[in-house]
Amino acid sequence: MASAFRLSLKPKVSDNMTHLMVDFSQERQILQTLKFLPVPKAPEIDPVECLVADNSVTVAWRMPEEDNKIDHFIMEYRKTNFDGLPRVKDERCWEMVDNIKGTEYTLSGLKFDSKYMNFRVRACNKAVAGEFSDPVTLETKALNFNLDNSSSHLNLKVEDTCVEWDPTGGKGQDSKVKGKENKGRSGTPSPKRTSVGSRPPAVRGSRDRFTGESYTVLGDTAIESGQHYWEVKAQKDCKSYSVGVAYKTLGKFDQLGKTNTSWCIHVNNWLQNTFAAKHNNKVKALDVAVPERIGVFCDFDGGQLSFYDANSKQLLYSFKAKFTQPVLPGFMVWCGGLSLSTGMQVPSAVRTLQKNENGMTGSTSSLNNIAQ
Does the reported pTM lie above 0.85?
no
Radius of gyration of the chain (CA): 34
Percent over 90 (pLDDT), the chain: 66
DSSP state at residue 287: -
* pLDDT value at 208 more than 80: no
Residue 363 banded pLDDT, cuts 50, 70, 90: very low
pLDDT at 228: 97
What value does the mean pLDDT take over residues 285-292?
Answer: 94
* pLDDT value at 96 more than 90: yes
CATH no. for residue 50?
A: 2.60.40.10
Alpha helix ranges (H) inside the chain: 25-33, 170-181, 348-357
pLDDT at 197: 34
Sign of CA dihedral 357, 360, 363, 366: positive
Other Cβ atoms less than 10 A from the Cβ of 220: the count is 17
Distance separating alpha carbons of residues 70 and 127, to the nearest angstrom: 10
Distance separating alpha carbons of residues 127 and 133, to the nearest angstrom: 19
Distance separating alpha carbons of residues 283 and 363, to the nearest angstrom: 12
Regarding whether 330 and 261 lie in a shared domain, the answer is yes
Among 184-193, 221-230, 243-252, name the one with the lowest average pLDDT.
184-193
CATH no. for residue 333?
A: 2.60.120.920
* pLDDT value at 40 more than 50: yes
Distance separating alpha carbons of residues 261 and 54, to the nearest angstrom: 30
What value does the mean pLDDT take over residues 138-155?
Answer: 94
pLDDT at 85: 81
Q: What is the mean pLDDT of the chain?
A: 84
Cβ distance 337 to 165 under 8 Å? yes
Cβ distance 277 to 288 under 8 Å? no
pLDDT at 358: 59
What value does the mean pLDDT take over residues 189-193?
Answer: 35
Non-local (6+) Cβ contacts of 340 within 8 A are 147, 161, 162, 230, 231, 232, 331
Distance separating alpha carbons of residues 22 and 271, to the nearest angstrom: 101
The answer to whether residue 368 sits within a structural domain is no
**What is the length of the chain?**
372
Regarding whether 339 and 217 lie in a shared domain, the answer is yes
The answer to whether residue 51 sits within a structural domain is yes
What value does the mean pLDDT take over residues 78-99?
Answer: 86
Q: Provide the domain limits for residue 74.
A: 44-139
